[in-house]
Amino acid sequence: MKRKVTLKQLAKELSLSISTVSKSLKNDPEISQKTIDRVHELANFYNYRPNPLAVSLKSNKTKTIGVLLPDILNHFFAKALFGIEQEATKKGYKIVTCITNESYNKEVEYVEMLSYNSVDGFIVALSQETQKLDKIEHFKEIIKDDIPVVMFDRVSEEVYCDKVIVDDKQASQTALKYLIDTNCKNIAVISTISDLSVGKLRLEGAKKVIGEYDGIEAIEVLIDTPDEAERIIENFLKKNEIDAVLSLDETAASITINMANKLGRKIPEELSVIGFADGLLSKYSYPKLSIMSQHAENLGQRAAENLIERLEQTNNKEKYIPKTEIVKTTLILRDSTK
């Protein structure tokens, strides 16, 4: 089967003009049915496809979405990417994936690179460094140029764009309440992501609940040196008589379970654990972790839906007002809680 035929070649072979062929392929009513049929037949024969580059150049649309992810080895973002890819494909969009590796500079570079006619819009989860530095000029720039951006999970208040987030604060309240309701009194809240927006929200939620109950002890363990997390958590569990842990991120949750096993603490009889995780740990840990599921695929999918909707809305000039969508979390009880 011959491939990569152009309009020009079809036109020549049919002894028609390029524009007639072009119109025929679009079933333009001003072309005779007979011609339309002839053109379609030959086009099918050659398996003709318009050159997307030429179409893009002409239309100023690439049908491509730029996806900026902080870390693809983090299962949460892998799942989100999965959701994005599904939705994009369904709607006829391609995605170009860039991994910022939690670096501000890489993020800026990618935004720069892709914003020059490479993509129609962006789906972004901010890098850790970007959130720390709180520098978001690069996004303000492209938004000013009318390139739509949708942020998810790791978002910035200061960027005027659509957002898809999880009700993190509410989620940790729910989790903590569950622990309290199942008679846990000495609760630790462990986090290795206290500098991320989501980490802060989860901590806030936890604090709020603690403030509302009497007789509940709660210790915050905030770790900002990932390499030492294992040691820190082990020491912490040794020295403190706690009966429940709420882990605000995947790493903390997994280490907690492992260290409890190592120290011979029975889960959930002596120690209840709930973690913010995405399912992988719950599947592969022993005992199976009870999780606050963030439904990463949903987040990704909703982000893509929002972006594409925005990209395809017929330029009505009414002022665009960004919206923030909140995707619900679910507490999934497995074996690490009573």
* Residues at the contact surface with a second copy, assessed by CB under 8 A: 1, 3-4, 49, 51-54, 56-57, 62, 64, 72-73, 75, 78-79, 81-82, 85-86, 89, 94-99, 113-118, 141, 145, 254, 257-258, 261-262, 280-281, 283-286
Please pick, from the candidates 18, 72, 96, 333, the single residue that binds DNA as defined by CB under 7 A.
18
Containing H/E element for 89?
helix 75-90
238 binds DNA (CB under 7 A): no
Partner from DNA, a second copy, none binding residue 15, C-beta < 5-8 Å depending on class: DNA
| Helix/strand/coil (H/E/C) assignment for every residue in 11-61 | HHHHCCCHHHHHHHHCCCCCCCHHHHHHHHHHHHHHCCCCCHHHHHHHHCC
Helices 250-262, 229-239: inter-axial angle, 10-degree rounding? 50
Helices 168-181, 197-212: axis angle to 10 degrees equals 40
Residue 73 contact among a second copy, DNA, none, beta carbon within 5 to 8 Å by kind: a second copy
| Options 27, 55, 137, 330; binder of DNA; rule CB under 7 A | 55
Long-range contacts for 54-60 (Cβ within 8 Å, ≥24 apart)? 56/117, 60/117
Q: Out of 22, 258, 261, 298, point to the residue binding DNA (CB under 7 A).
A: 22
Q: Is 258 in the site for DNA (CB under 7 A)?
A: no
Q: Is 216 in the site for DNA (CB under 7 A)?
A: no
Contact (CB, 8 A) for 147 and 122: yes
Asked if 15 touches DNA (CB under 7 A), the answer is yes
Q: How many residues belong to the chain? A: 338
How deeply is 20 buried, as exposed, middle or buried, from its count of CB atoms within 10 A (0-12, 13-18, 19+)? buried
Q: Which does 35 bind (CB under 5 to 8 A by kind): a second copy, DNA, none?
A: DNA
Q: Is 130 in the site for DNA (CB under 7 A)?
A: no
CB of 80 to DNA, least distance (A): 33
The entry of DNA, a second copy, none that residue 18 binds, CB within 5 to 8 Å by partner kind = DNA
The binder of 62, among a second copy, DNA, none, by C-beta within 5 to 8 A per type, is: a second copy
219 belongs to the binding site for DNA (CB under 7 A): no
First-to-last CA distance in the chain? Answer: 63
**Could you say which of 50, 89, 137, 328 contacts DNA (CB under 7 A)?**
50
Rule CB under 7 A: is residue 25 a binding residue for DNA?
yes
Under the binding rule (CB under 7 A), the answer on residue 113 touching DNA is no
Token digits of residue 54: 């030429």
Strand 272-277: give its sheet, edge to edge: 217-222, 186-191, 244-247, 272-277, 290-293, 330-332
Is residue 119 involved in binding DNA (CB under 7 A)? Answer: no
Q: Given candidates 13, 27, 33, 283, which one binds DNA under the rule CB under 7 A?
A: 33
Neighbours of 91 (CB within 10 A): 16
Q: Nearest to residue 276, comparing CAs of 180, 181, 173?
A: 173
Name the minimum Å distance from CB 146 to DNA. Answer: 14
Residue 201 in contact with DNA, rule: CB under 7 A? no
Distance CA 338, CA 181 (A): 10
If the CB atoms of residues 18 and 280 are measured against a second copy, the closer one turns out to be 280
Task: Tell me the site size for DNA, rule CB under 7 A.
Answer: 28
Whole-angstrom distance, CA of residue 243 vs CA of residue 265: 10
User: Are 137 and 145 spatial neighbours (Cβ–Cβ below 8 Å)?
Assistant: no
| Residue with Cβ nearer DNA (59 or 225) | 59
Contacting positions for DNA (CB under 7 A): 6-8, 15-20, 22-23, 25-26, 28, 30-35, 49-51, 54-55, 57-59
